[in-house]
Structure 1
Amino acid sequence: MATPLAGQVTACLGSAPGPRRTVRSLATGRTRRPGWPALGAASIGCGIWTMRFIAMPGFQVSETDISHDGTLTFLSLLVATLVVGAGVFTVGCRGARPVPLLAAGLFTGLGVAGTHYLGTAAMRMNGP
């Protein structure tokens, strides 16, 4: 019970600065605009990824050890950051109008789902 709760707290703390940085990019001049969405994407992507890898040790299977494939684990972090980055940059550069928000949200949501599937595929354990 403690690790899923800790994972949720970590996700909230890690992701909270992301929207603020995106909003800041909308109010900043063109020359400094890309830095804020990049920081927002890193914050949100790492928050999502960290939540999963803090919460998953709470998942146990009787009589088998669970480990993670390093390459797939790193790939899941990369995907999380890149898809969130695409969404944040879309809103940060195109504005908070309905179409950019919908496109960014859809792409980011599907990417986050992909991140979680990659993280699950990275799990190694005995059994079928």
Structure 2
Amino acid sequence: MTTQDQPEPTAATTPGAPAAAADLWPTIDALWTWLDANQARDGREALLLRMLKLSEEVGEVAQAAIGATGQNPRKGTTHTWDDVQGELCDVVITALVALRTLTPEPEAVFVRHLGRVAERSLAPKAQ
């Protein structure tokens, strides 16, 4: 849900954005490297906190969706659907960085899992 008077941002117009989908995994790896180098905790605690970060981001999606619909009568409309899109992107990025935390081959794990989900979900139903 975007406004018609604003052009869609592209990699060419967004500073620091990957140039193409091919840059997704190198960017995720760079974010993972940066987080690992700058984390305040280590070991199992760092791992668990990285997984919990995903719940925080999902909560921000909920907050933005509630704000976009004006569901809270005390606050009214506080967000836009563009805000919700941004928060959903944060969820995806956080999940992919968490996946990279668990495996040095996140792309292979993701592609394999996506294939299984697509196969079971998109397969023709037996009659």
Classify the TM-score, shorter chain.
Answer: 0.3 to 0.5
TM-score, normalised via structure 2 length: 0.35
The structure carrying a bigger helix percent of its residues is: 1
